[in-house]
Amino acid sequence: MVTKTIEVVNAQGIHMRPAGMLVAEMKKFPNCNVTLKCGEKTAKATAVMQIMASGIKCGSKVEITAEGENEQAALDKAAELFETGFGE
């Protein structure tokens, strides 16, 4: 299991588009469980509604956890997306 905590840089938080991008990328790691923890809320990185329902805002800290096959690669990819502001 690997984890990393990042800070959300997207001005509008993790809205529909970033959530969608994250899900699309994480589905490329079918045998790895990736979860996001933000405050009280946790969401599977492959569940678009859960991610949106977590209401992750700009500036909040998100703990990403990956467990399973290719866990380091999955974590790196997720962290990269967050850190680059999902290309926004």
Partner 1 sequence: MNKYKGKGVYGAVAIGKISVYKRQELSVKRTRIEDVEAEKKRVERAKEISNQELSDIYEKALREVGETNAQIFEIHMMMLEDEDYNESISSIIETQLVNAEYAVALTSDNFAQMFASMDDAYMQARSADVRDISNRIIKNLSSDSAGMDGVSGKMIVCADDLAPSETVALDKENVLAFVTAYGSSNSHTAILARNMNIPAIIGVGENFLNDIKDGELAIVDGFTGDIYVNPDEETLHAMEKKQAEDNEKKKLLLELKGKENVTIDGTKIKIFANIGGVDNIGAVLLNDAGGIGLFRSEFLYLENSDYPTEEQQLIAYRKVLESMAGKKVIIRTLDIGADKQVDYFNLDKEENPALGYRAIRICLTRTDIFKTQLRALYRASVYGNLGIMFPMITSVSEVEKIKAVCDEVKAELKEEGLEYSENVELGIMIETPAAAVISDLLAPMVDFFSVGTNDLTQYTLAIDRQNRMLEGFCDTHHEAVLRLIKMAADNAHKNGKWIGICGELAADTSLTEQFLRMGIDELSVSPGFVLKVRSQVRNTDLSH
* List of residues contacting partner 1 (CB under 8 A): 12-13, 15-17, 19-20, 23-24, 44, 46-50, 52-53, 55, 57
Look up 15 and say whether it is catalytic: yes
**Spatial contact of 40 and 15, defined as CB atoms under 8 Å apart:** no
Closer to partner 1 by CB, 39 or 72: give it.
39
- Rounded Cα gap, residues 88 and 72, in angstroms: 24
Angstrom distances, CA of residue 83 to CA of 19, 31, 86: 14, 24, 8
Min CB(71)–partner 1 separation in Å: 20
Question: Which of 3, 13, 15, 41 is the catalytic position?
Answer: 15
Nearer to partner 1, 4 or 50 (CB): 50
Angle between helix 71-83 and 16-26 (nearest 10)? 160
User: Based on CB atoms, which residue is closest to partner 1, 6 or 13?
Assistant: 13
Q: Just list the catalytic residues.
A: 15
